[in-house]
Amino acid sequence: MKNLFLLLSLCLSLHISAQVFGPVGTGVPITPQQSATDGQNLYYGAWDYVNWEFDVFKWNGFSWSPLPSLNDYPWHITTYQGELYAFTYVNTVGNIHRFRNGAWQSLAYQVNGAVSASAEYNGNLILGGQFQDQNLGAVNLLSFDGTNFSAFHPTRATDSIYVMEVFQNELWIGGNFYHGSIDTASVMKLNPSGNQWEYPAVHRYSTNFHGLYINNLFSLNGKVYTNTSGNLCEIRNDSLVPVIANTNGIIDHVNAGNVVIFTDYTSSLGSFDGSTINNYNNSPQGARLLDKMGSTIYGSFSGTSILNYPFNHVYQFDINNWGVAQGTIYWDQNQNCGYNQGEPIDFSAGFSYASGSGSQTVGAKGNYHLILPSGTYSLSGLQSLEPLYKYLKPATACPGQSSLNINSGQVTSQDIAFEHDGTADRGLRLNSASWGRLRQGFNERIYLSIENPGSDYNSPINVAVNLPSGLSHLSSSAHFTGQSANTLNYQLSGLNACEKVQIIINVNVSLSNAINDTLCLSAQILNNSDADLSNDQSSLCMRVVASYDPNDKTPNVGESEPGLSSLDYHIRFQNTGTDTAYKVVVVDSLESYFNPSQLELKSASHDYSFELKDGHILVWTFDNILLVDSNTNEAQSHGYITFNIGVDGSLPIGAQIKNDADIYFDFQAPIHTNEAVTTIRVIGIDDLGSAAPYQLYPNPAHSSEKLFIEYEEGNTESLKLYSSGGQLHKNYKLSGAGRDVLSLSGLAEGMYILKGKNGHIRIQVSH
C-alpha cells in the first residue's frame, strides 16, 4: 500500500458536543457492510464482488487481522458465547457458519429462507428473518443454545423480521408485518409471561404509518423509539407518537450514556437526547455502521479523509491532540542521507514505533503516513519486507532513524533511508498464469523470474528449466539459448542489485495427459555460488484439467503436509438423460484410512435420507427428487453433496488418499465419479507463502542458543520448522503470551523455514 495510517489506542470519554474523530489502526481494505462485537473484538465484513467471497476483519483494540474468507453470501453476522457467526443465503437456502479454531465451520442445519437479525435472550441466541423450517415448525424465528436449534414463538409466514433488540429483559422485534385488518407499525414484543407476542404500536395517531417496515429500534431513558416514514417516534403503550418529524431515517445506532448516536440515510452522523437531534458537521463523510466496545464508539465510513489524507474505513470517536508524520522510504544509493529523484522507493519496509509501554509494528511501501497523538516516539526494527530487497539495511549514519516527533494538528516530514549491505545472492522462481491448472490440449504460459537481491553481478547467469514429458516447449520471450531433451536453457549477461527479469515460457499440454494428473516443472541456477543457495532452485506442480462428465468428486485439498486430520469432499451429479429422475442414490465406500466416526454431513442440494452401512459405506438417498434432465432445464438438472470425514493423521510422506463414489439415477447402471486424490508430500520453500507476522531474534542463530519469537498476544497457532529441502524437523505451539522461546537443539547447520498459517520466516542456524 502506498499510504499507511496508524493510530495508538486510547481510553476515550464521550463528550458528544466536542466530538473528534480518529482512524482505527491501519484500517481495512473494504467498505464494511456488516459488523458485530463480542466486547473483546470488533468484526467488520463485506462481500467482495471481484473474488466472489465474504471478507471479515477483526479489531482487538490495537491491531487488525483478517479472517479466512467465506464463499457464501452473508445476510447477517453476530457473536454468541464468544464466537462469531455468519448467516448466509444462497439459492433460497439459509446456511449457518461458525468461526472456530481459526476456520469457518458450516453447521449441519439449514432453513428455507434467510436469517437477517439476532439477539441474545435468556441465554439463547434468537434468530429472526424470513424463513421456515417445516421439521421444527419454525416460522421466521429460531432459538439456538450453541448446540441445538428449536422453534421460537413463530410469526406469520408473510412477515419479515429486520431488527431484534432486548430492552429491560424484554424481547422486541421489528420488520414488515402483515396482520389483515390490524393496522400495525410492524413492532412486536414478547409479553412478560414469555408465551405470546403483543402488538404495542397499533396506529391510532396517523394512518400515514400503514404498511411501512421497521429496521431500527432503540431505548433511551426507559423509552423505546423507532424511525419510520421520516419520523422519529416513541412507542408509547399501543401507539406510535412522533417526537421529531421529517428526519432522514436511521441506519444504525449505539447508546452513549444519556444520548443515542446514529447514522442516517444521508450518510451523516448525529445524536438524539430524547427531545432534539444534533448533527455532527465535522464528522467524516459516508457514515454507515456503529458499534461500541468498552467505552469506545466505532463508526465505519466511506470516502473519508483526515488532514487531507484518505483513510479506509473505520474511525473511533474522541481522539484529541493528534498530528501526522509522513515521509519517503527509499534506497539511498548515493549515500547522501537525502532522497533524490530516481532512487528506488518501490519496496516494502517495516518498523516499530513506541511511546511508554505501547508499541506497534507497521509496514509501508514508498511513502508512509502515521496519524498519532502528539509526543515523541522511538523507532526500532527498521527492515525490508520483500525478498528482492532483503539485503537493504537501515542507513544508520543518516539522522532521524531512531525517533519521531508528532505535533498536534501539524504534519511532520521525516524520510527513512536504507542502504545495500553488499551481500552476493541470486535466485529464481517459477509461477503459472493459469492458477495452478493445465488445460488438456491447450497452450499455457509459465513465468520464470530470475532475481538478484544481492549486489551488482556482471557475469553470465545460466538457468536450466526441466519440463515433464506431458509438456512441450513452444516459445520463450527472451534469453532462450536452446533445448536439450526436456531441458530448456537460458542465459542472462548479469543483473544489477535488486533487479528482476521475467521470462515467459509458452508450452502445450499434451492430450496424452489424464485428467487430474500432476505435472511438475523445476528450474535451477547452474554453477552458482553465493550467500543463499536455498533460492537457487524452484519447482511448480500443476493439475491437468478438462471439460468432463459433470458427475464428479473433489477434495478441498489436493496436497497436504503430514498430519492431515480431515478432508472436505464435494460430490456433484447431473441428470443428462432424457427424462426426469425420480430417485437418486449416492454410494461412497470409505477406504481404511478414513474414520467414519468423525463424519460431518454439511450440505446438499435437495432433501435426503442418510445411512451408514457396514461401518464404512455412506449412502445418501434422494427420494422423489424430481431432478429434471439437462435438455429440459440445464440449471435445474444439477445436485450436490458436501461432507467432512476424518483421516488417519499418521499417513507418511508420499501416501495418497483416494476415494470415489457411485451415483444411481432411478434404475440405471451406476455412474462412477473420478477418483479424488490428496497426496501427502514434502512442503518445499516455494509452497510457503508470504512473510509471516512474527519477529525472531537472534537470526542467524546458534543451535545452542535460545531463539525468541514475538507475535500478537492471543495467538496459539502451531508452527512447523522445515529444512531448506522441505523435511519437517520440529513442531512448536505458541502460548498466546506474545513472546516465546523456541529450541533449536539437535539441528544441523544450514537454512531452515519456520512456517505458520499466515506465512513463513527463514532462519539461518550455525554451530
Cα–Cα distance for residue pair 70/368, rounded to 1 Å: 31
- pLDDT score of 203 more than 80: no
pLDDT digits (tens, 9 = 90+) for 507-523: 998 888 887 788 999 99
Cα–Cα distance for residue pair 216/238, rounded to 1 Å: 18
pTM, two decimals, is 0.44
Cα–Cα distance for residue pair 144/765, rounded to 1 Å: 52
Q: What does the domain layout of the chain look like in residue ranges?
A: 16-317, 322-418, 427-545, 552-680, 685-766
- pLDDT score of 293 more than 90: no
Cell 444439477, residue?
Answer: 638
pLDDT, residue 143, reads 93
Q: Which CATH class is domain 16-317?
A: mainly beta
- The CATH architecture assigned to 552-680 reads Sandwich (2.60)
A 10 A CB-CB count for 572 gives: 18
Cell 416514514, residue?
Answer: 229
- pLDDT score of 7 more than 50: no
Cα–Cα distance for residue pair 321/204, rounded to 1 Å: 51
Cα–Cα distance for residue pair 560/678, rounded to 1 Å: 7
- Cβ-based neighbours of 602, under 8 Å, separated by 6 or more: 106, 108, 568, 642, 643, 644
Cα–Cα distance for residue pair 652/343, rounded to 1 Å: 50
Decide if 242 contacts 233 (C-beta within 8 A): yes
Largest CA-CA distance found in the chain, in angstroms, rounded: 91
Cα–Cα distance for residue pair 621/641, rounded to 1 Å: 11
Cα–Cα distance for residue pair 201/224, rounded to 1 Å: 11
Task: Read off the C-alpha cell for 208.
Answer: 400515514
**What 3-state class would DSSP assign to 208?**
helix
Cα–Cα distance for residue pair 681/258, rounded to 1 Å: 61
- Cβ-based neighbours of 24, under 8 Å, separated by 6 or more: 7, 59, 64, 298, 314, 315, 316
- pLDDT score of 16 more than 50: no
Cα–Cα distance for residue pair 634/180, rounded to 1 Å: 40
Task: Read off the C-alpha cell for 587.
Answer: 454410494
Q: Which CATH class is domain 427-545?
A: mainly beta
At residue 505, φ and ψ (nearest 5 deg) are -115, 120
pLDDT digits (tens, 9 = 90+) for 160-200: 888 999 988 889 998 877 655 444 557 888 877 767 777 65
At residue 761, φ and ψ (nearest 5 deg) are -135, 135
Please write down the long-range contacts of 687-692, taking CB distance under 8 Å and 24 or more positions apart.
688/753, 688/755, 688/759, 688/760, 689/755, 689/758, 689/759, 689/760, 690/758, 690/759, 690/760, 691/385, 691/759, 691/760, 691/761, 692/754, 692/755, 692/756, 692/758, 692/759, 692/760, 692/761
The gap from C-alpha 563 to its chain's centroid, in whole angstroms, comes to 24
Q: How confident is the model at residue 591 (pLDDT cuts 50, 70, 90)?
A: very high
CA distances from 411 to 28, 103, 318, 345, 372 (A): 23, 42, 20, 21, 11
Q: Which residue has the higher pLDDT, 117 or 766?
A: 117
- pLDDT score of 244 more than 70: yes
Cα–Cα distance for residue pair 484/474, rounded to 1 Å: 14
pLDDT, residue 351, reads 82
Using alpha carbons only, how large is the chain's radius of gyration in Å? 30
Q: How confident is the model at residue 634 (pLDDT cuts 50, 70, 90)?
A: confident
Task: Read off the C-alpha cell for 756.
Answer: 505458520
Burial 271-294 (b: 16+ CB within 10 A, else e): bbeeeebeebeebbebbbbbbbbe
At residue 657, φ and ψ (nearest 5 deg) are -95, 110
Task: Read off the C-alpha cell for 234.
Answer: 416513541
**What 3-state class would DSSP assign to 648?**
coil
pLDDT digits (tens, 9 = 90+) for 683-740: 443 333 334 567 776 777 776 667 778 777 788 888 888 775 566 788 888 888 777 8
* Average pLDDT of the residues in 255-259: 72
Q: Domain spanning 685-766 has what CATH number?
A: 2.60.40.3080
CA distances from 536 to 93, 502, 689, 747 (A): 51, 15, 17, 22
Closest CA to 505 of 537, 545, 463: 463
Equal CATH topology for 427-545 and 552-680: yes
pLDDT digits (tens, 9 = 90+) for 348-376: 888 888 877 666 677 777 877 676 667 88
- pLDDT score of 125 more than 90: yes
pLDDT digits (tens, 9 = 90+) for 482-512: 999 999 999 999 999 999 999 999 999 888 8
Decide if 478 contacts 506 (C-beta within 8 A): no
Residue 89, strand partner residues: 94
pLDDT, residue 724, reads 58
344, burial (CB in 10 Å: exposed 0-12, middle 13-18, buried 19+) = middle
Q: How confident is the model at residue 469 (pLDDT cuts 50, 70, 90)?
A: very high
Q: Which residue has the higher pLDDT, 610 or 301?
A: 610
pLDDT, residue 48, reads 79
**What 3-state class would DSSP assign to 525?**
strand
Q: Which CATH class is domain 322-418?
A: mainly beta
Q: How confident is the model at residue 756 (pLDDT cuts 50, 70, 90)?
A: confident
Q: How confident is the model at residue 210 (pLDDT cuts 50, 70, 90)?
A: very low
pLDDT, residue 436, reads 65
